[in-house]
Amino acid sequence: MEIAFSRLDERVAKFTISGVSTSFANMLRRAMISEVPTLAIEDVRIYDNTSVIFDEMLTHRLGLIPLRTDLARYAVRSECSCGGAGCPVCTATYTLSVEGPKTVYSSDLIPQDPDAAPAEGEIPIIELGPEQKIVLEAYAIVGTGKEHAKWQATTACGYKNYPQIVIDELCDGCGMCVDECPRDVLEPGQGRIRVVSGRQEYCSLCRLCERACLAGGIGTEPAIHIGTDPERFIFVVESDGSMPVREIIERALQYIQRSSDDLVDVINDITGEGTE
């Protein structure tokens, strides 16, 4: 297996992974979405709410605010030494005390731990009118996306097969396929069409170039052929800001490794029992 990054920053990663099956690629995608733990608000204690929305709707909006997550600092509540009571090791506490008229943003949510602050400060929560106010305490815990979408660390996570573009000797360089390509992947060459350097991965597999080539009337088969590499995939991953995208990828791969090791242990146990 080989991984090559074409972009890697705090929030977004684009990389090509080679030498794996479609099943593995989909497993990696699902692990990044649903198996990477993050903080999210789970419990809210409301002392005053004279706004125009119900308490339940307000708490739902709070729960969907991405929170910065340091997994070296916070433990899963079920594994915490407090027994799930909710201590600083497994619970991040926030307060919100605002009065209108004003727009309430995620930056108004004050964290007890500054390192667990909202990932974005300009997420609107509610518009308060004159003499309307909200006073509450919120408690965030660590969870995973398979429990609820509010714990998903990614806002976008997907992949596609790596495109393969083959131009055979029938090509006469007419340029009809170049005009049809919506991603500017093709360009005229010396007597025939060629792929623009570095743009092959941008092919959307729409096959408009193939249809344009057939419309040109050169034989019964197009001179350009679009396919995919069954063992090579292009991933795009975007973090919601709760943690760097590199950590999301690493933790997803660690989850796959642990799951594989657990499966091997189970198989070995079964095999050992069967031979005794």
pLDDT at 29 over 80: yes
Q: What are phi and psi of 28, to 5 degrees?
A: -65, -45
Taking the whole predicted model, whether its pTM rises above 0.85 is answered as: yes
Per-residue pLDDT band at 276 (split at 50, 70, 90): very low
- Which residues make beta-bridge pairs with 174? none
Q: What is the pLDDT of residues 34-46, one digit of tens each?
A: 999 999 999 999 9
Q: What is the pLDDT of residues 170-191, one digit of tens each?
A: 888 888 889 999 999 999 888 8
Q: Say if CB 37 and CB 142 are below 8 A apart.
A: yes
Across 225-241, average pLDDT: 95
Supply 4's token pair: 């090559």
pLDDT at 236 over 90: yes
pLDDT for 218 equals 56
Supply 23's token pair: 């099943």
Among candidates 164, 162, 160, which has minimal Cα distance to 224? 164
Kindly report the average pLDDT of the chain as a whole number: 92
Among candidates 106, 108, 107, 98, which has minimal Cα distance to 128? 98
Type of residue at 13: A
Q: What is the pLDDT of residues 185-215, one digit of tens each?
A: 999 888 888 999 889 999 999 999 888 888 6
Greater confidence (81 vs 232) lies with 232
Type of residue at 143: G
What is the spatial distance between Cα 187 and Cα 60, in angstroms, rounded to a whole number?
51
